[in-house]
């Protein structure tokens, strides 16, 4: 993840009724904003950060109370209150390859948490049900448990803040995002909060990144095709997951998978090999036995025929139950993807956009952030776009309660994203206004602004994220797009 990011350059509330979900927090480390700037190659970070492994109560795959784990990354400046940001992580190679193990080998996507915390968010990164400290097999791309693990981690945030020394207060804002499997999980969480928990949570904005939102459509069609696919391990991982949750897909693995593949899958289920090793073994066997890595060739012919022709087959019903796109978000929502994605076809994002808009979503757009990037190459541009989108809605407030967009002045940037003109408002008299690109190059500078507002022509600037500074180094991000 570090390599992928080289391009990336509370209301104060009383004890929540849900704070009893919090169990423990273990301090794991810290980074200064100078270290973050050096690590990611961008002079954009405003806060030093520290991070904790946390545990909290939630349900396991069987619905029984369990102890789940995750990572919380916080800014260290205690004079301000920060929004919560939930980041749902991508597919993990092993049970302990998760955010809560950040700082250890295989420690998941914890770098993402430091990025957002350094930008002024209390960042929550759940490990998921069955991962990290959770018991049992992880229900992969299972929407309900992806949502429940995150919901309960958000609920536990009050307990974490109240019971952990020297951590900041949270505001009422909640941002949701996630990449790959995390895109699916983020959309599942977003849907749960808006459709079923609206009286408890208000989502400020959401950005879903390169996720398999259409499990029963786009992803199913890919697996049933004769297309070469170099990530065949996702299919047994999903099959094992849905058997765990629904218990009606098969009696034996060989009911679905041919014997040459079932042994490797059993080893993965038992935890004796990782998902990456399973993937390598499946590719090698597919290539040796059938000439190429076509995922459907692992499947029994009878299962392919049943899935193709019987919409009520238990597998089709399980797939359909885990689609996450057929609803209408109320909150501002963006879907970022890359057309060259080699793991999760971009049609997932296009279908989600079209369906959500048809359902009545008023503030939703989908953007191809790099048409040639594969899934690995899509991480940085997707998160850069997310940072810019969220920046226009983020409010960091002093603990005293007066809203303050940043630093000592209540600056606003509109529109954000901008395409032709960016208006900077509430500028102190005599301040300097500057804009820099992601490489730190100054692209605009005006001294002695007379106060009030300033219009900046951005029509000739390249699309991307820019850093706007007003006065003595105080600033925030703006996204320029066409």
Where does a domain end: 262, 291, 321? 321
Contact predicate 94/275, CB 8 Å:
yes
Q: What is the structure's pLDDT at 433?
A: 86
Mean pLDDT in residue range 396-413:
61
Q: Compute the CA torsion angle 355, 358, 363, 365 (nearest 10 deg).
A: 40
Q: pLDDT tens, 287-308?
A: 999 999 999 999 999 999 999 9
Judge if 291 and 278 occupy the same domain: yes
Residue 396 lies inside a defined structural domain of this protein: no
Residues 269, 415 within the same domain: no
pLDDT at 438: 63
Nearest CA to 120 out of 172, 86, 70, 83 is that of 83
Q: 222, 183, 177, 168: which is closest to 90 by C-alpha? A: 183
More confident: 469 or 254:
254
328-362 pLDDT, tens digit each: 999 999 999 999 999 999 999 999 999 999 999 99
Domain assignment of residue 205, yes or no: yes
One domain, residues 336 and 433: no
Where among 283, 306, 321 does a domain terminate? 321
Q: Which one of 269, 298, 321 terminates a domain?
A: 321
* Whether the Cβ atoms of residue 271 and residue 97 lie closer than 8 Å to each other: no
**In a shared domain, residues 257 and 337:** no
- 481 pLDDT band, cuts 50/70/90, is confident
Q: What's residue 441's pLDDT?
A: 73
Q: Please, how many CA atoms are within 13 Å of residue 350, restricted to the half-sphere of its CB?
A: 10
- For position 450, which CATH number holds? 2.60.40.3080
Task: Grade residue 4 by pLDDT with cuts at 50, 70 and 90.
Answer: very low
At residue 411, what are phi and psi to the nearest 5 degrees? Answer: -75, 145
Task: Tell me what percent of the residues of the chain surpass a pLDDT of 70.
Answer: 91
Confidence class of residue 7 from pLDDT cuts 50, 70 and 90? very low
- Give mean pLDDT, residues 222-242: 98
- Is the pLDDT confidence value at 74 over 70? yes
Tokens representing residue 476 in the block: 């925030």
Which domain does 448 fall in, by range? 405-480
For the stretch 121-149, pLDDT in tens is 999 999 999 999 999 999 999 999 999 99
What is the structure's pLDDT at 475? Answer: 59
Supply the DSSP string of 265-280, one letter for each residue: HHHHHTTSS-HHHHHH
Indicate whether 264 and 157 sit together in one domain.
Answer: no
| Greatest pairwise CA separation for the chain in angstroms | 76
- The answer on 210 and 337 residing in a single domain is yes
Q: Does residue 419 register a pLDDT over 90?
A: no
Looking at the structure, tell me whether residues 165 and 43 fall in a common domain: yes
Task: Check if the beta carbon of residue 181 is closer than 8 Å to that of residue 324.
Answer: no
Q: Is the pLDDT of residue 233 over 70?
A: yes
* CATH number of the domain bearing residue 366: 3.40.50.1820
Give the model confidence (pLDDT) of 245-304 as tens digits: 999 999 999 999 999 999 999 999 999 999 999 999 999 999 999 999 999 999 999 999
Question: Within this chain, do residues 290 and 425 fall inside the same structural domain, yes or no?
Answer: no
Portion of the chain with pLDDT greater than 90, in percent: 77
- What pTM, to 2 d.p., does this model score? 0.86
* Strand, helix or coil for residue 244: helix
Residue 442 reports pLDDT greater than 80: no
Matching residue, tokens 């070469």: 228
**400 inside domain:** no
In this structure, the answer to whether residues 332 and 424 fall within a common structural domain is no
Q: Does 366 map to a domain?
A: yes
* CATH label of the domain that carries residue 315: 1.10.260
Asked if residues 186 and 211 have their Cβ atoms less than 8 Å apart, the reply is yes
Number of structural domains, the chain?
Answer: 3
**Residue 398 included in any domain:** no
Residue linked to tokens 């250890």: 104
Please give the torsion angle defined by the CA atoms of residues 389, 153, 30 and 175, in that order, rounded to the nearest 10 degrees. 10
Check residue 266 and give its pLDDT.
Answer: 98
Judged by average pLDDT, the poorest of 47-51, 312-316, 390-394 is 390-394
Which run of H or of E encompasses 208? strand 205-209
Residue that wins the pLDDT comparison between 400 and 103: 103
Residues 204 and 277 placed together within one structural domain of the fold: no
Inside any domain, residue 270:
yes
| pLDDT at residue 210 in the model | 98
Whether 279 and 301 map to the same domain: the answer is yes
Tell whether 201 and 76 lie within a shared domain. Answer: yes
> Is 271 among the domain residues?
yes
For residue 399, tell me if it sits in a domain. Answer: no
Q: Tokens at residue 299, please?
A: 């499947």
What is the rounded (10 degree) CA torsion for 241, 245, 249, 251? 90
On whether the CB atoms of residues 178 and 135 are closer than 8 A, the answer is no
Q: Provide mean pLDDT across the span 431-456.
A: 81
When pLDDT is averaged across residues 435-457 and rounded to a whole number, the result is 81
Count of other CB atoms within 10 angstroms of residue 62: 11
């Amino acid at each position: 993840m570090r390599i992928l990011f080289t391009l990336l350059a509370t209301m104060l509330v009383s004890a929540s009724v849900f704070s009893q979900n919090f169990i423990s927090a273990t301090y794991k480390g810290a980074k200064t904003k100078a270290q973050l700037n050096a690590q990611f190659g961008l002079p954009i970070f405003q806060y030093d950060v520290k991070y904790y492994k946390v545990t909290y109560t939630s349900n396991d795959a069987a619905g029984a109370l369990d102890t789940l784990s995750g990572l919380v990354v916080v800014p260290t400046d205690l004079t301000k209150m920060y929004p919560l940001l939930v980041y749902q992580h991508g597919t993990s190679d092993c049970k302990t390859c998760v955010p809560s193990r950040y700082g250890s080998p295989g420690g998941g996507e914890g770098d993402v948490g430091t990025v957002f915390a350094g930008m002024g968010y209390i960042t929550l990164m759940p490990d998921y049900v069955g991962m990290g400290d959770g018991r049992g097999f992880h229900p992969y791309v299972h929407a309900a448990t992806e949502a429940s693990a995150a919901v309960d981690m958000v609920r536990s945030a009050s307990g974490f803040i109240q019971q952990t020394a020297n951590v900041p207060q949270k505001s009422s804002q909640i941002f949701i995002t996630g990449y790959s499997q995390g895109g699916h999980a983020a959309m599942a969480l977003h849907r749960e909060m808006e459709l079923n928990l609206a009286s408890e949570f208000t989502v400020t904005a959401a950005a879903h990144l390169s996720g398999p939102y259409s499990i029963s459509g786009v992803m199913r069609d890919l697996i049933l095709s004769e297309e070469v696919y170099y990530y065949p391990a996702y299919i047994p991982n999903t099959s094992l997951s849905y058997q765990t949750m629904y218990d009606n897909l098969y009696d034996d693995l060989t009911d679905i998978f041919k014997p040459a593949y079932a042994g490797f899958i059993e080893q993965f289920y038992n935890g004796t090999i990782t998902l990456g090793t399973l993937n390598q073994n499946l590719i090698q066997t597919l290539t040796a036995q059938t000439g190429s890595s076509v995922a459907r060739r692992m499947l029994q012919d009878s299962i392919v025929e049943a899935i193709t022709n019987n919409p009520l087959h238990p597998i089709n019903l399980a797939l359909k139950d885990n689609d996450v796109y057929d609803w209408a978000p109320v909150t501002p929502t963006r879907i970022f993807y890359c057309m060259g994605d080699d793991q999760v076809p971009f049609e997932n994002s296009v279908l989600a956009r079209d369906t959500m808009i048809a359902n009545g979503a008023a503030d939703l757009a989908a953007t191809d952030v790099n048409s040639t990037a594969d899934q690995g190459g899509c991480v940085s541009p997707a998160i850069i776009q997310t940072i810019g989108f969220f920046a226009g809605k983020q409010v960091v407030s002093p603990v005293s309660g007066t809203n303050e967009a940043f630093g000592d002045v209540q600056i606003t940037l509109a529109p954000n994203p901008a395409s032709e003109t960016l208006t900077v408002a509430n500028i102190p008299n005599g301040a300097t206004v500057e804009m820099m690109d992601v490489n730190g190059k100054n692209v605009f500078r005006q001294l002695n602004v007379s106060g009030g507002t300033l219009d900046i022509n951005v029509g000739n600037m390249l699309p991307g994220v820019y850093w706007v500074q007003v006065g003595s180094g105080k600033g925030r991000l703006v996204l320029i797009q066409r």
